[in-house]
Chain A
Amino acid sequence: MGEKKRILIVEDASYMRDMLVEMLEQEEGSYEVVGFAVNGKEAVEKYKELKPDIVTMDLVMEVMDGIQAIREIKKYDPNALIIAISALGTPEQKKAALDAGAEEYLWKPFTIKNLFDALEKLLRKREE
């Protein structure tokens, strides 16, 4: 894998942030959590500040929702890699997230395997 992938976690629920950190720590050699954001607005700011390789983006948040944040980040950096994460899982929401520029859509609840499958898929797609 070489270099560790720097990850920005955008999530309003602290227990979800904690869990994502725990999950990513399981593959410490590959991923490093570089920062958190609790809403879309903060996510955009943090993205500009940290320039992470990957963003996990919760979609239902206050202040600015995930879809809007994905759009802003993509506008800032069209090459940004974003995994959208949501408990809603409706086809409409999934489509909106992918249209906004997210590469993957992860439906809560998900297992650790689901998460790494999505990340790998994301990176493979980028390498291609």
Chain B
Amino acid sequence: MLKELNYKFLILLSTVLACTILAFFVGFIKNETIVYTHFFYVPILLAGVWYRKKAVYIALFLCLVYILVTLFSPQGELYVYVFERSAIFVAVAYVIGLVSEKRAKGEEKLKETKEYLDNIITSSADAIVVVDMEGIVRSWNKAAEDYMGYSAEEVIGTSNRKFFADPGEAEKIMRIVQREGELKNYRTTLLNKDKNPVHVSMSAALLKDKYGVPVGTVRVSRDITKEVELEEKIKEERDNLNQILESMDDGVYIVSKDYKVEFMNKVLIDALGYHVGDICYKAFHNRDEPCPLCKNTEVMKGKTVRWEWYSRRNDRTYDLFEAPLRNIDGTISKLTIFRDISDRKRMEDDLRDAEERYRIIFEHALTALCVIEHGEVVSLANKEFETLSGYSREEIKGKKWIDFIAARDRDRVQNYCAERRKGEAPACCEFKFVSSNGEIKHVNAWIEPIPGADSCIASLLDITELKRKEDELRETCEKLAELDKMKRDFLNVAYHEMRSPLAPIVGYASMLERCELPDKGKRYLHNIEHSARELEKLINRMLELARIDGKKIELSLERVYISKVVAEVAKDLEPEAKEKKQVISMAVQEVEIQADRQKIVAIFSNLISNAIKYTPEGGKIDIMVEDRGEDIRACVADTGIGIPKEHLPKIFERFYMVDTSLTRKSGSLGLGLSIVKEYVKLHGGIVWATSEPEKGSKFFFIMPKRQK
């Protein structure tokens, strides 16, 4: 630098000296007035080029020399043109100085810029590589060395193919850059010196020479290995999330900020069809712009919203949960979970309807109803409860349950309610109810716990009137029972008192039999005894009926041999039959049954004596008993007067007499058959009769062999 400067300085100095000498030589030695000042431009120009504005000093110096020479030379005369020329010198020097200074400044700037750029390139964190059109590396910065492990010396002049995991990428990038002139954020994987992958984001530009011919490409690559790993992790997580969303029972979709459907899970696809990639408001709602209800803007602001949406398309109601979902690239998508609540909704509606129905039932029920909370406070009452209590609904609400109960019944009802709530008491409870004016009403209460709540519903029926009637009825019943008892007592006494006088009649007659009597007397005695026996029978039957009336008769069960009983009864009645010259024939199977012997005797006795009574002299009486396995079937048939058809259904009724005239042939109070009927019934059997007037009657009964 100094050398250069000295060399320029010397040249300049020598030209200035040369000009000065020339001036003195021409002015003082030659003494000629030749124009030499043209030579002055040489140092002025040189100084202007080399030292810029300092050329003005050279020009001033030369002007001084010129003026002095002109002034002091013999021929010299100071004319105006001398100053003119001097001024031109200075002006030329100034202009040249100015121009050259400007140029020098531009060059300096250029130099600075170049240094600055070099610095940037060297210190850049991004790898900056220049590759020529043949793919040969021409420049390789520090960052590239760090990224790839190769030094600049190693790679400059070699092909760039080896840097790519896929060597084909080298040509591909070149083609793109050639075609597009540039490449932006192109993601590719490089291999470093140790053959490990380096993920980079590459931008490239075409380099052209001054004629516009492409000479190479400059490529700026950023190591994004960390970002790629992170992205992969995020992607993995997103895949997991999608898998979760896919397996959810609820429908799920993800919509981007610009309403593009990015994801739909299977449930939602099944419900709404496949629309991934479509614009949501177009695909789902046939709209040209976002739906008015859409919450996208809110969600994009980071808000989570929940709302209910009815889909007219498939007639379902969804509970929507929408939340922002941050994407890898920092944008936000809207995640929406569609919970199908149509069924719940329908159930709710049904429930509401049911509630309304039950409310109406509650309101219009004819019993007083109220709801009791915690066994203490009445929270709800119906119209009938208002009527019963005499309070308005507003007054009832919040009133203590206990205030409706008469003091005497309070503890009992409270205990009952407590037990009832535990399910340990019967549903019904009777107590005295106090209405607003203090009036006491008898109520029958049903207390029913309401499931799932500490409350119960009380249903109160005013039974005051019922109670009064019941009391009346009870009184009547008691009176009747008393009367009945009086009747029975009377009958018992009457029976006893009627039988007592019979005792001496029968007793003395039996003694008289032992005495010597004329035939006539014996006949009289016989008649007395017969009548006494008949009278005794009548009295006995009356008592039996009185007893049947009174209460259920207990059977005293034993083994009864039917043939024996029939034979016994027949033997007892034989004298009567003989008197009427009747024949009794028996076809009785040997059968043993479980029965009350006395009653069986009475049955046959009544049937057979009836047969004798109503059969004319010389008639025939058949007695048949058949063993049918589970039961016996008995029949007493006669050849008597028969029973008119219209009387048949009634003959077993008490006191029923076919012939009610006092002059009827045979005496009977019509009690026999009703006793038969009662006794057969007591044994679980049935009795009936068939008859043909003037030909005879048949009386049947069926009786089980064993009693339950």
The chain A residues found within 8 Å of chain B, CB to CB, are: 13, 15-16, 19, 22-23, 26, 60, 86-89, 91, 108-115
Nearest residue, chain B, Cβ from A108: B503
The contact of A109 among B495, B496, B497, B536, by CB within 8 Å, is B536
Nearest residue, chain A, Cβ from B493: A60
- Closest 3 interchain pairs by CB? A111-B510, A109-B506, A87-B499
Distance in angstroms between the alpha carbons of A108 and B532 in the assembled complex: 12
The contact of A113 among B495, B500, B503, B510, by CB within 8 Å, is B510
Check B496 against A87 for contact (C-beta < 8 Å). Answer: yes
Cβ of B533 to closest chain A Cβ, rounded Å? 9
11 A-B pairs with CB atoms under 8 Å apart are: A13-B500, A16-B503, A19-B503, A23-B511, A87-B500, A88-B496, A89-B499, A91-B556, A111-B509, A112-B510, A112-B511
Cβ of B170 to closest chain A Cβ, rounded Å? 131
Distance in angstroms between the alpha carbons of A112 and B503 in the assembled complex: 11
Check A22 against B511 for contact (C-beta < 8 Å). Answer: yes
The chain B residues found within 8 Å of chain A, CB to CB, are: 492, 495-497, 499-500, 502-511, 514, 532, 536, 556
Cβ of B312 to closest chain A Cβ, rounded Å? 89
Nearest residue, chain A, Cβ from B554: A91
Query: CB-CB < 8 A to A13: which residues of B?
Result: 500
Check A109 against B507 for contact (C-beta < 8 Å). Answer: yes
Check A87 against B510 for contact (C-beta < 8 Å). Answer: no
Distance in angstroms between the alpha carbons of A26 and B512 in the assembled complex: 11
Cβ of A118 to closest chain B Cβ, rounded Å? 13
In the complex with contacts A16-B503, A60-B496, A112-B532 CB distance below 8 A = no
Check A109 against B556 for contact (C-beta < 8 Å). Answer: no
* B interface SS class: helix
Cβ of A90 to closest chain B Cβ, rounded Å? 8
The contact of A19 among B492, B507, B556, by CB within 8 Å, is B507
Check B508 against A19 for contact (C-beta < 8 Å). Answer: yes
Check A109 against B499 for contact (C-beta < 8 Å). Answer: yes
Check B496 against A110 for contact (C-beta < 8 Å). Answer: no
Cβ of B327 to closest chain A Cβ, rounded Å? 105
Distance in angstroms between the alpha carbons of A112 and B510 in the assembled complex: 6
Check B499 against A108 for contact (C-beta < 8 Å). Answer: yes
Query: CB-CB < 8 A to A16: which residues of B?
Result: 500, 503-504
Nearest residue, chain B, Cβ from A60: B496
Nearest residue, chain B, Cβ from A58: B500
Distance in angstroms between the alpha carbons of A126 and B653 in the assembled complex: 49
In the complex with contacts A88-B495, A88-B496, A91-B556, A108-B502 CB distance below 8 A = yes
Cβ of B595 to closest chain A Cβ, rounded Å? 15
Distance in angstroms between the alpha carbons of A22 and B504 in the assembled complex: 11
Check B511 against A26 for contact (C-beta < 8 Å). Answer: yes
Check A110 against B507 for contact (C-beta < 8 Å). Answer: yes
Cβ of B541 to closest chain A Cβ, rounded Å? 13
Cβ of B538 to closest chain A Cβ, rounded Å? 13
The contact of B505 among A23, A88, A109, by CB within 8 Å, is A109
Cβ of A82 to closest chain B Cβ, rounded Å? 18
In the complex with contacts A26-B514, A88-B492, A91-B556, A112-B499 CB distance below 8 A = no
Query: CB-CB < 8 A to B508: which residues of A?
Result: 19, 22
Query: CB-CB < 8 A to B492: which residues of A?
Result: 88
Query: CB-CB < 8 A to B532: which residues of A?
Result: 109
Q: Which of B503, B511, B514, B532 has the most CB of A within 10 A?
A: B503
Q: Which of A60, A91, A111, A113 has the most CB of B within 10 A?
A: A111
Nearest residue, chain B, Cβ from A111: B510
Distance in angstroms between the alpha carbons of A109 and B509 in the assembled complex: 11
Nearest residue, chain A, Cβ from B502: A109
Q: Which of B497, B502, B511 has the most CB of A within 10 A?
A: B511
Distance in angstroms between the alpha carbons of A60 and B489 in the assembled complex: 14
Query: CB-CB < 8 A to A86: which residues of B?
Result: 496
Query: CB-CB < 8 A to A26: which residues of B?
Result: 511, 514
Cβ of B532 to closest chain A Cβ, rounded Å? 7
Distance in angstroms between the alpha carbons of A114 and B509 in the assembled complex: 13
Distance in angstroms between the alpha carbons of A111 and B506 in the assembled complex: 6
Distance in angstroms between the alpha carbons of A91 and B497 in the assembled complex: 18
